[in-house]
Amino acid sequence: MLRSKDLTGLYDASAEEIVEILDRAAEMKALLAKGRKSEKTLAGTALVTLFYENSTRTRTSFELAGKYLGAHEVNIAAASSSVQKGETLIDTGRTLDAMKIDFIAIRHPLAGAPALLARNVSASVINAGDGMNEHPTQALLDMFTMREKFGKIEGLKVAILGDIKHSRVAKSNLFGLKKLGAEVYMYAPRTLMPMGIDELGAHVCNGGGCRGRALRDGAEDSARKAEGRAVSLSFGIQQVLRRKGRHSLACRQGRDNHASRPRQQGHRAYAFADRRRSQRDRGAGDKRSCHAHGGALAAQGIQGEEFMRYVIKNGSVVFKDVVRNCDILVEDGRIAAVGEGLDAEKAIDAEGLHVFPGLIDMHVHLREPGFEGKEDIESGSRAAVAGGFTQVCCMPNTNPVCDNAVVVTYILSRAKEVNLCKVRPIGSITKGEKGEELAEIGKMAAAGAVAISDDGRSVMDSKIMRLAMEYADGFGLK
């Protein structure tokens, strides 16, 4: 007997319960093979299929199973139910409970919906798929087929390939197969592999090998090829670039601006300023450096490209967790050394001043293109460097809205022309910031966007917001 009245997933099911279900399924299959489609096992009971997503095979399977076993079966489609009038899942469940329904088979786009329903009704709830969480009945069918084919599941090595991250069936298979003694290997590009699934017992395999146990029989090579054919989360197959004979994904990954570009070397530039004056150093950096700014630079007359090597002396240098009096040697706009007793042709006396890493403003409104009368990239950048900010992240509230790669590219090109500070474009989550349809997140990321936001306009559609967060994670955005 099952311990619970509900079957909401295989994560909490025991091996004995899974075996019992598989054994009973074998008995039912034998009856069907004899043409017996009118059993009395569930006579006098009522089954409701409550589907909030479209389905053909799963819903039909539940309907036929109920009829074959003698239950009265009713189908409810959310599209034509009171859900359209605002009725909640719990409201629906309690209404069905009042009608003395015995079984509810539910499919829902949100993970955890079947468990929520089960806690609020007396009827037995069967999960027919909830979001990206679990699909226990499909996994049970897979295990039934394996056991029928191989005679047992214990000791099998099962490989699951594809979009693991979004597959509820893959997760239920992992839970069930592990409990029955199988080893489960999961193959997918990193963008389609959920983080931490190896902690649930899976051998996670991709181009970098397999975490959990060494791959055999060429499986590692297959995994590496699968990684090279990475799937873009929003625009189908992403073009794979070849660089120096190796594959590199064209989408954004990690902290680099572009995965197809090598990481820039060198230390972060420092900025220093006081409350009295602040002036940009126009000659200290190249296009890939954070420029050094501050009143002392202007006071010492370092302008143009006359001095490309100088030392800032006697300042109180702010490190991550300490302030220390020392010197900073700057060469070609980069921090070459930090220490005591450093010398150069030109020296800047920063006594009484604090020298700190360039500040980053994560939320600015540069308003270009479209609203230059309020602010533009040049005026906003000048204001930034005047306050010691070497990088700014600009919001997408422009005209047109920064919801595509073209606008992102324009902002970056204008920032390069102005050449005052680093400008990091933030793309919009939805097209036109209207909250109705996802913007071209992948293309914006490839063009140089560092994050996505609808800038104060809430995305009211939870599905769109969830997809946006998944895509942002896949493309390395924030």
Instruction: For 339-364, give the DSSP string.
Output: ESS---SEEEE-TT-EEEEPEEEEEE
* Cα angle, residue 423 at apex, residues 338 and 417 outer, rounded to 5°: 100
- Work out the average pLDDT over 285-301: 32
DSSP β-bridge partners for residue 106:
50, 127
Choice among 8, 49, 58, 390 that is catalytic:
58
127-186 pLDDT, tens digit per residue, is 999 998 999 999 999 999 999 999 999 999 999 999 898 899 999 999 999 999 999 999
- Work out the average pLDDT over 391-411: 93
251 located within any domain: no
Range of the domain at 292: 270-357
189 located within any domain: no
Q: Are residues 346 and 385 in the same domain?
A: no
**108 is annotated as an active-site residue:** no
Q: Are residues 465 and 418 in the same domain?
A: yes
- Work out the average pLDDT over 1-20: 92
154 located within any domain: no
Choice among 3, 34, 40, 57 that is catalytic:
57
Mean pLDDT computed over every residue of the chain: 79
What pLDDT is recorded for position 116?
92
Choice among 8, 59, 92, 135 that is catalytic:
135
Closest CA to 68 of 34, 112, 110: 34
| CB contact at 8 A, 423 and 366 | yes
Where is average pLDDT lowest: 42-51, 304-313, 386-395?
A: 304-313
CA pair distance 263, 261, nearest whole angstrom: 6
Question: If pLDDT is split at 50, 70 and 90, which confidence band does 210 have?
Answer: low
Residue at 2: amino acid letter: L
321 located within any domain: yes
CA pair distance 259, 115, nearest whole angstrom: 40
**107 is annotated as an active-site residue:** yes
368 located within any domain: yes
Q: Is the pLDDT of residue 265 over 90?
A: no
Q: Are residues 415 and 314 in the same domain?
A: no
Closest CA to 451 of 430, 425, 431: 425
H-helix or E-strand containing 116?
helix 113-120
What pLDDT is recorded for position 340?
86
What pLDDT is recorded for position 207?
52
Residue at 37: amino acid letter: K
Q: Is the pLDDT of residue 291 over 80?
A: no
Choose one of 90, 116, 134: the last residue of a domain: 134
What pLDDT is recorded for position 310?
87
Domain tally, the chain: 3
Q: Is the pLDDT of residue 250 over 80?
A: no
- Work out the average pLDDT over 16-31: 94
**135 is annotated as an active-site residue:** yes
Closest CA to 205 of 138, 158, 168: 158
What pLDDT is recorded for position 272?
40
Closest CA to 448 of 268, 256, 239, 234: 256
375 located within any domain: yes
Q: Are residues 344 and 417 in the same domain?
A: no
336-378 pLDDT, tens digit per residue, is 888 888 888 888 888 888 888 888 999 999 999 989 888 899 9
Choice among 107, 108, 179, 367 that is catalytic:
107
Question: If pLDDT is split at 50, 70 and 90, which confidence band does 192 have?
Answer: confident
Whichever domain contains 82, its CATH number is 3.40.50.1370
141 located within any domain: no
pTM: 0.50
Question: If pLDDT is split at 50, 70 and 90, which confidence band does 111 have?
Answer: confident
Extended strands (E) in 234-333: 240-243, 246-249, 270-272, 309-318, 323-331
Extended strands (E) in 188-269: 203-206, 209-211, 240-243, 246-249
CA pair distance 123, 274, nearest whole angstrom: 70
Closest CA to 365 of 422, 441, 425: 425
Choose one of 319, 335, 357: the last residue of a domain: 357
| CB contact at 8 A, 181 and 155 | yes
- Work out the average pLDDT over 227-249: 31
453 located within any domain: yes
Listed in sequence order, the DSSP H helices in 239-393 are 295-300, 377-386
What pLDDT is recorded for position 234?
29
Q: Which residues contact 100 (CB under 8 A, 6 or more apart)?
A: 46
